[in-house]
Copies of this chain bind each other. A is one copy, B any other.
């Protein structure tokens, strides 16, 4: 039997704000960061998880992960991995800890990091990438890991079992197809708000040359700029490429539709038009901008908000995020909700490790849950993959099926050490070269 003998939690930050990579209307200067967790075992592989953040605040998530680790039941690894639904509930519904959520913010992300690390362990012990481990679990095992609390007016355990059972038909063919053809990706690399028109146009053309059929532009700082950038992007990519836009929550509910409609119906989807908490606002905006479609999810705090977005007919694409919610357990709940309501899942990615972690859910979704590919595409941003032991690969606009055992969260020890904040060598060099003058925690 295996024991967890320690947890290493590291504040890792990359100085992306120096290049305005990742800049948008709200996130003007992110330092892409990870609150990084290694669950150390006494034998066999370790388990890795992380929470993506935008820099400041990463230290709070580091503290929250330590607290979440302390909530783990004192059991052998094999016992924990055999009852990940119970473990999820122990972390998420702890009778004291839940007060500082419940099920939202830093504490919830921290529970997700611990669950991600446990699933990484489970997949490594099985010698499978996470998506294939999930795809090979029985319908009953899958139902056990999902927390249906406050979901049952929308989907019950019995309905979930039915969905997973139906997903067994043709599963092997779909797994084989995923391994052969991968899964469609789209790119946001061209459209950051801090980029010049020239850089955006050049990158948009490169995206098409690289095989992407959907690109995304950040909008929301100036309607004139957005109209111009949309026109330039359309000229650059030609008529057959889809262009989505992303407002990153910038608009008031009653102002969004005028701005969006100024961009015309050429917009494939508008992402995060307003507060991620605003279910009714999303529903209103969706009515007002039809036929332009609404996408949201990277900042949706938990399955209960997704449930309502679906019930209120407030979104056309569900953008799950791999490190905001309570791990694979809650994202399986999200996939079930999307399947029940017939809405495609198009995951959020980018940041640090989000691509590596989130692809597993789309691959699993096709294998066993929605069993569909239409209108489904996974975000891809070509940043920071070099730090990961098993980075994603995108070929001709398609994510290749992850093959390495685990969930993809493991980073190279050298990268973790170099970019540990604030004392890692990378940060020291930036400071001594004068590229950064001080840091908040100094």
Contacts and interface: CB of A to CB of B under 8 A. Distances in A.
B302 A277 contact: yes
B54 A278 contact: no
A206 interface: no
Interface string A17-31: 000000000111111
Contacts of A60: 60, 63-64, 67, 100, 106-107, 110
Interface string A290-317: 0000000001011011011001100000
Contacts of A103: 275, 277
Interface residues of A, number: 67
Interface in A67-113: 67, 70-71, 94-110
A59 B67 CA distance: 8
When all copies of this chain in the complex are counted, the total is 2
A55 interface: yes
B106 A64 contact: yes
A102 B278 CA distance: 12
A103 B70 CA distance: 26
A56 B252 contact: no
Contacts of A395: none
B100 A57 contact: yes
A37 interface: no
Nearest to A253: B153
Contact of A280 (B63, B94, B100, B311): B311
Nearest to A24: B95
A26 to B, nearest CB: 7
A3 interface: no
A435 B299 CA distance: 43
Given A59-B63, A61-B100, A70 B153 contact: no
Given A252-B150, A253-B150, A276 B57 contact: no
Contact of A54 (B95, B104, B441): B95
7 contacts: A57-B98, A60-B60, A60-B63, A60-B110, A104-B105, A150-B253, A277-B301
**5 shortest interchain CB distances as A-B pairs:** A105-B105, A55-B96, A63-B63, A153-B253, A56-B96
